[in-house]
């Protein structure tokens, strides 16, 4: 039973790290898109 608990904790920690990494990537993409939109807007004006 103890091995099962340890395995579950390892999976939970790994998933948390993965989700945190995805969140940072999504924020970065959002910043890039926003930056590109500003660049296009400045080029048009």
pLDDT, tens digit, for every residue of 1-45?
A: 688 889 999 999 999 888 888 877 888 888 888 888 888 888 887
Alpha-carbon gap, residue 1 to 10, rounded angstroms? 14
Q: To the nearest 5 percent, what fractions of the chain are helix, strand and coil?
A: 95, 0, 5
Q: Is this prediction's pTM over 0.85?
A: no
- Location of structure tokens 């590109």: 36
Stretch (H or E) spanning 30: helix 2-44
So where are the chain's domains? 19-45
Residue 2 in tokens: 């103890």
* pLDDT score recorded for residue 1: 67
């Amino acid at each position: 039973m103890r091995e099962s608990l340890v395995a579950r904790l390892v999976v939970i920690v790994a998933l948390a790290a993965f989700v945190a990494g995805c969140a940072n990537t999504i924020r970065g993409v959002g910043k890039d898109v926003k930056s590109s939109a500003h660049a296009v807007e400045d080029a048009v004006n």
